[in-house]
Structure 1
Amino acid sequence: MQHSSARMKAAWICLLIASVGILIFGVVAAVAPGAGDEQLMRAGGVAATGMGLFGVLITLLPFRRGER
């Protein structure tokens, strides 16, 4: 049982790190779009921010508790 618990803890930590990375990228892309089509980059940044936030919430609430 402990081996499975360690795997689950490692899984939610990795998922949290990936989600936070996506969230940070989305915020940066939405705030400072850089060169090219600014509206398209801002839209992508807002979408990535939402996806990262959703991933963080899923990781911290139901996934960490082991819910299906």
Structure 2
Amino acid sequence: MLRVKGDTQRLLDSSRVPDSEKENVLKSRMKWTSKLESQCSDKGCYYNMSSERNNELERIMAKYNIAPM
């Protein structure tokens, strides 16, 4: 979860990322958070969903040449 939060912040703070992409990241974060809260009740689920989200963020980060946490 800390990596997801940190990588999200890096994307939002970067001047390389266009505002439209930042908006998409925030929108998808809200959807992901809602899904996480409604579907997960154990650590394994939280881990898997966090891992998937972090992979999504890292793909976006690679597109803009930003190093992940």
Fold agreement, TM-score > 0.5: no
Q: TM-score with structure 1 length normalisation?
A: 0.40
Q: Which has the higher contact order (CA 8 A, sep 6+)?
A: 2
